[in-house]
Amino acid sequence: MTRTAAIIGGGVIGGGWAARFLLNGWNVRVFDPDPQAERKLGEVLDNARRALPMLYDCALPDEGTLTFSSSIAEAVTGADWVQESVTERLDLKHRVFAEIQSADPAALIGSSTSGFKPSELQQGAADPSRIMVTHPFNPVYLLPLIEVVPSPATDPAAVETCKTLLSSVGLYPLHVRKEIDAHIADRLMEAVWREGLWLVNDDIATTEEIDNAIRYAFGLRWGQMGLFETFRIAGGEAGMRHFIGQFGPALAWPWTKLMDVPDLTDDLVEKIASQSDAQSGHLSIRDLERKRDGNLIAMMRALKQQGNASGRLILDHQKTLRATPDPASPMLTQSRVIPVDWTDMNGHMNEGRYGQIFSDAAEEVMAAVGADDDYVASGFSYFTVETTVKYLAETHAGERVKVLSRVTEGGGKKLRCLHELIRASDGTVMATCDQLMLHVSLETRRTCEPPEHVAARVAHLAALNEGD
């Protein structure tokens, strides 16, 4: 059964939420009185449609249906999840919650607030137990962290349901056990932000120099190890205790100004704004968003290859999306979007990535004949000994493609496949690959006959293609 999310407030954050749910197969109802809401959300959705599928090596579910509702009641009634993303005004949020609970008392409500505590949100609510903070990070359709913050009045069962729903669309619900102003991540970011303001105010560094200090150094480390694991390594073989013993006393030195903030005078605001304009003012916001998304995709895919941090989350979510292909002819062995990091200086997919996608297709054929992960773990597999690839048309980042595979030879130790890479939008065959694999023992690393159940499936698929 298709689930439904109601999004109250369709700006940058609400639009990102809508995109995350829609592209994971949910139906989405949006309420936003802004007459430009459909246009604004449409632009966010265009970016998401291009970006999110590039993280995965399989197709996302069929996109859900997007509906713009004329009232909050119409949007939320019967929805599986309600996400509030209106302006950061507590009185406005209270009115929205009252209207939601009047229309559907059973509604589960998450707030995108970056600053308010859940107990503040729940003030005056008909049923505070159904309200919690679910604070995302922009762009919501790519960044997985959601800070889930209940108050003592929030129903624990509602929190667990929330975490399950968010996990199902590839998000990472971080359960914040005690409510606190600005939650966790924003408090950390604010510490860096405060120090950055002082560095600009005191003419120590420009906005670009501060950004370079982050993105060329500790920002890269934090993206895959976080803060404490990074410092653990800095402690050497003795680990965190040594690090704290060596560098802890520096915390008493007057290095930072975290307990104070420079006055945001007109001069300081103008200095920051003019430096920011000089840094990236030649790019539109849409250009910057696409640049940001492309960088995030490439970094998160690299982390996926290593099975680490946000990459591990994508791998786990991908397992829930993937299905073993039906043993038919032809077999649909790949359905995916070409990611940005698969293209070369000419702007199209490079030769090595054709090998990658055909290799991934071959693994699906192997799974279909019984040579799956468990089979490999038992000590047997198929190894490729020969491929012939023909490049027939250019393949570009963002294109949705599929691979159809046929078993053309399946006697004894041999498993031969013919793969076709096809552009999904018009059926153009973009490349073909003739691939010969031999059955091997992983213990001896030599060829051997496959067991009867695998040999029979291979022979069956080969027989489907006799005479082609």
pLDDT tens digit string along 409-423?
999 999 999 999 999
For residue 123, pLDDT over 80 is answered with yes
Output the pLDDT for position 262.
Answer: 83
Output the pLDDT for position 73.
Answer: 98
Please name the CATH architecture into which domain 185-282 falls.
Orthogonal Bundle (1.10)
pLDDT tens for each residue of 84-109: 999 999 999 999 999 999 999 999 99
CATH homologous superfamily of domain 4-175? NAD(P)-binding Rossmann-like Domain (3.40.50.720)
pLDDT band, residue 435 (cuts 50/70/90): very high
Question: Checking phi first, is residue 307 left (phi over 0); if not, alpha (psi -120 to 50) or beta?
Answer: left
Output the pLDDT for position 142.
Answer: 97
Omega prior to 330 cis, within 30 of 0:
yes
Please name the fold of domain 324-464: Thiol Ester Dehydrase; Chain A (3.10.129)
CATH 1.10.1040.10 in the chain is located at 185-282
CB 6 within 8 A of CB 133: no
Rounded Cα distance, 378 and 295, in Å: 39
For residue 436, pLDDT over 70 is answered with yes
In this predicted structure, which of 171-175, 256-260, 296-300 has the lowest mean pLDDT?
Answer: 256-260
Output the pLDDT for position 234.
Answer: 85
Average pLDDT (16-25) is 98
Rounded Cα distance, 127 and 104, in Å: 11
Sequence-ordered alpha helix ranges (H) in 77-117: 90-103
CATH 3.40.50.720 in the chain is located at 4-175
Output the pLDDT for position 468.
Answer: 58
pLDDT band, residue 397 (cuts 50/70/90): very high
CATH 3.10.129.10 in the chain is located at 324-464
Output the pLDDT for position 467.
Answer: 56
Average pLDDT (352-381) is 95
Written as one letter, the residue type at 166 is L
* pTM as predicted: 0.90
CB 410 within 8 A of CB 371: no
